[in-house]
Amino acid sequence: MTHHAAQIIPTRQLFGPGPCNPYPEATAALGLPLIGHLDPAFIARMDRTCEGLRTLWGTRNARTLPLSATGSAGMEAAFVNTVQAGDVAVIAVNGLFGERMCEVAARAGAEVVRVDHEWGTPVDAGRVAEAHPNPTVIAAVHAETSTGVVSDIAALGAVKGDALLITDAVTSIGGMPVLADDWGIDVGYAGTQKCIGVAPGLAPFTISDRAFERRVPKPQSWYLDLGLLGGYTNGAPGGQRTYHHTAPVAMVASLEAGIDRILAEGLEAVTERHRAAGRGLQDGLQEMGLELFAAEGHRLPQLTTVKVPDGVDSAAVRAYLLENFNIEIGSGAGQYAATVWRIGLMGPNANPASVTLLLGALKEALA
Ligand code: PLP
């Protein structure tokens, strides 16, 4: 059999819903010499990474770590460790990722009480609170990547009562404030490939002591059992490092470098950079006569949803941008696949030059 030459990979501007282009520091760290996952140098690296994640999460939770898989594994970990047969999970659904939560919670055995919202609108904490008298968990997505909408997680924390609050911060972390402790988040999961500006592959995760004490004793997933993962990072109070699985050392090095980059700039400055870029893009799109999809006042700066104008072939425009500008933007999600575009300005891409480039390219594609 012939071994064909590898295809030359083009350099793309990743302006879709993720992954974004990583911070250069995060990419450079992938080339560091590989070390063993129990090497003292790696253990120090993991400690620094977990501490950096606490800052990004706005938490002092001891159990804050990068799970070795993508954001969806964070979602799995959140549910398999908190619900089992007979437990009630009230889940706010205002987009694709809320829907995925329902599927994951149901597979973990929970009775799912689904609180549906119109796509493009934020979660209504009052409706979530009224959905069931004593749920085991309530859950919502902070930044719905499928619709471009931000929801008020603090409002859910205020009404959660005795329930544990699970929050998806995949698209918000590193791009907008996430204050897990202040908002009452008990279990949070995220991803590296959005505003943290690192390649996909890890799921930053945090769980409060209260949630950990109430965890499912023997979840159906061995890999994501937080009880067993305690010794994997500094999450085990006073504990020795023990082997659970081989840490993805190169990805952790990259995440450490990405977090360092963000904290060197300053979380507030990074948030402001995302806010300004998103505002610039959304203003520019509207000046071009395009209509935004997400409800006004609840729009994510880092992920803009825009309606495809009548008579325009949405896939043809995306192909034009890719072929002529090396620009990737996203199609819509679910039923909006052909009628909405999703444009991300995340991580290093959240800057004025990206806005100018995007608006110019889109003008040409639509001309
Ligand atoms: N939740 C949200 C809000 C997301 O945007 C995504 C990914 O796009 C996920 C969960 C799933 O993460 P992953 O695709 O990294 O598994």
Give the whole-angstrom CA distance, residue 281 versus residue 296.
Answer: 14
Taking the CA of residue 142 as reference, the ligand 1 atom at the shortest distance is 3
Cis, peptide link before residue 19, omega less than 30° from 0 = yes
Q: Using a 6 Å cutoff on CB, does residue 18 contact ligand 1?
A: yes
pTM: 0.97
Q: How many whole angstroms separate alpha carbon 196 and alpha carbon 263?
A: 11
189 lines ligand 1 (CB under 6 A): no
Prediction ipTM score: 0.99
CA of 291 to the centre of ligand 1 (A): 25
Which of 14, 67, 72, 251 gets mutated to test ligand 1 (max ligand atoms within 8 A of its CB)?
72
**CA neighbor of 55 nearest in space, from 239, 222, 318, 270:** 270
Pocket test for ligand 1, best of 67, 171, 305, 331 (most atoms within 8 A of CB): 171
Place of tokens 């606490």: 54
Scanning the chain, the segments in alpha helix (DSSP H) are 24-29, 40-57, 71-80, 96-107, 125-130, 153-159, 180-183, 209-213, 226-229, 249-265, 267-287, 314-325, 352-366
* pLDDT string in tens for the chain (367-residue length): 678 888 888 899 999 999 999 999 999 999 999 999 989 999 999 999 999 999 999 999 999 999 999 999 999 999 999 999 999 999 999 999 999 999 999 999 999 999 999 999 999 999 999 999 999 999 999 999 999 999 999 999 999 999 999 999 999 999 999 999 999 999 999 999 999 999 999 999 999 999 999 999 999 999 999 999 877 775 455 556 778 999 999 999 999 999 999 999 999 999 999 999 999 999 999 999 999 999 999 999 999 999 999 999 999 999 999 999 999 999 999 999 999 999 999 999 999 999 999 999 999 999 9
